[in-house]
A and B are shown apart, each in its own frame.
Chain A
């Protein structure tokens, strides 16, 4: 394992590895076909507290460093990227509150997670992907309440979350400066979910629309101040992106593991194909990319732990890790030859799983804008 982690985390890593080997890896194959959200696997993960790794210690979390947590999340991603995505997206859904919420809100969301819940982050809308200012979801203040209306789409954990952090326009005339962030509990009248996406990959994670129809919430559920929603969302994504890099690295690592295992077994011309230098160089290139991605993830997370600016590093980590996850998954298929193209074997799934990491939480084109802005200066 290439993350430099504490002795404590090394111990936990063994447990997580064992859990994933016994409860996740093989089981997820069937759910990849059916597209069903594997509740029983998540129930077991919750029991083991794998879903609450990112909850801060003062709110009942384990108090591990981010790099320690990354090693555990990568282990989950090696087993199944959808599984790791569900858990990581719950952290994404919690971050707006941890970044800008008040004490009561922080306690509220963290307790929801400790009790076995998941969070969901709702920014994207049918007409507002990379351009958040085009969002049409509104929040109108009515006495001590806000009334939310609109439709969010592609929401990871949308159908299974206990709470949602939702962006909505409180002043359309101000563009992104008119966006505010709201905390809405699942079960609030007016909040419903629909249109579950039938996805290409990460099929063990739930993605659906979140619909708001005259959804009334207490004014106290405003996270931070009115008009700060976009800024909170960007800070949230600045952190969360590094985690997506971490999951993408796990996909790449699985590709290496599977490729090597297969190439050692596959005999052609009287010897295992791994003995061919062409195959060895392929593995070396896969390892160079994966290790580089991992260390970029670690660097971004370390900067976060130190309270240093990390926007550029997180964007590089997410962008690079997802790009190479695609490349490595593709090369893993190549190592398997014709069998790699078959759904009977584990590597074609990696390519399907990897693709979304180039798209969600800011497409890799947006990441390049972030990186360029941070490199060139505005």
Chain B
């Protein structure tokens, strides 16, 4: 089982982000971390690898600072890591990003002479939350996609996955190779062991640039070639102060809450 996991480095999602004077997210002093859904994807991939043997390669598009995130991935189950970094890729839209990811995957496959059986992505990134990379990468690669996984099982030539829905889950099968995007499974990602972390720091991280990818189309990547542009960013409206309802009994509190909602014509 040869697995590729695509990760994104995002600002720590436990910190509230505000816009700066230029109207851009002020990310100063916010620690970059691996997107939470990508950590779930890596954990699911690591468990699959441990149950069926195989190798995991992790790729990340980003600047040199993302190497740290890749090292963290090497400490929790990944075997190889590549940073995809080129000034030409900066500010690409999702179409550009998935085009680069496809070509990076193809390059790694050619260099190692091994095809990827499964490609894992988080279902979305916690910063922009577009949720497009997985499905669009599948489109680029011409393979199937299962989104919002919470569990996966491997048979000889197919995967059976639990796909999260609003009501529960449904079981979906796909031939491999395919792309899967991962939601929050029942388990948490593992912590790196001290020794794995120390070993990960010493592992090499490959670098992939524009010139390394022979079939990449320059007209699809970079700021000049985006099909989708964010014109302006807005901060979420501040929550208004709530009303505290504390009657003598719980029943009275509930009745008052319902009465207030009726008055406000919520029903």
Q: Which of B190, B192, B198 contacts A8 (CB 8 A)?
A: B198
Q: How far is the CA of A12 from the CA of B195 in the complex (A)?
A: 10
State the Cβ distance, A354 to closest chain B Cβ, in Å. Answer: 27
Q: Is the CB of A48 within 8 A of B193?
A: yes
The CB with the most chain B CB atoms within 10 A, among A11, A12, A18, A63, is that of A11
Q: How far is the CB of B118 from chain A (nearest CB, A)?
A: 26
Contact A18 B195 (CB under 8 A): no
Could you tell me the distance between the alpha carbons of A63 and B197 in the complex, rounded to whole angstroms?
13
A53 to B201, CA, bound (A): 17
In B64-87, which residues have CB < 8 Å from any A CB? 71
B198 touching A48 by the CB < 8 A rule? Answer: no
Please tell me if the beta carbons of B198 and A12 are within 8 angstroms of each other in the complex.
Answer: yes
How far does the alpha carbon of A19 sit from the alpha carbon of B201 in the complex, in Å? 19
Least CB distance from A111 to B in Å reads: 15
Question: Interface of chain B, helix or strand or loop or mixed?
Answer: helix
Q: Which residues of A contact B195 (CB under 8 A)?
A: 49, 62
- A11 close to B201 (CB less than 8 A): yes
Interface size class of A (residues with CB under 8 A): 10 to 19
B191-A62 in contact (CB<8A): no
What CA separation (Å) do A50 and B191 show in the bound complex? 11
In the assembled complex, A365 has its CB within 8 A of some CB on chain B: no
A15 contacts partner chain B, Cβ-Cβ < 8 Å: yes
Contact across chains for B192 and A15 when beta carbons are under 8 A apart = yes
The yes or no answer to A305 lying at the interface (CB within 8 A) is no
Any B CB within 8 A of the CB of A47: yes
Alpha-carbon separation in the docked complex, A20 to B201 (Å): 22
The reply to whether B198 and A62 form a contact with Cβ atoms under 8 Å apart is yes
B190-234 to A contact mask, C-beta < 8 Å, 1/0: 111111011001000000000000000000000000000000000
State the CA gap A225–B71 with chains docked (Å): 47
Which of B191, B197, B198, B201: most chain A CB closer than 10 A?
B191
Binding site for B on A (CB under 8 A): 8, 11-12, 15, 18-19, 44, 47-50, 52-53, 62-63
Contacts beyond the supplied A49-B194, A49-B195, A53-B194: 7 A-B pairs with Cβ under 8 Å: A15-B192, A44-B191, A47-B193, A48-B193, A50-B194, A52-B194, A62-B198
Chain B residues at the A interface, C-beta cutoff of 8 Å:
71, 190-195, 197-198, 201
- 28 A/B residue pairs, CB under 8 Å, sorted by A: A8-B198, A8-B201, A11-B71, A11-B197, A12-B194, A12-B197, A12-B198, A15-B191, A15-B192, A15-B197, A18-B191, A19-B191, A44-B191, A47-B190, A47-B191, A47-B193, A48-B191, A48-B192, A48-B194, A49-B194, A49-B195, A50-B194, A52-B194, A53-B194, A62-B194, A62-B195, A62-B198, A63-B198
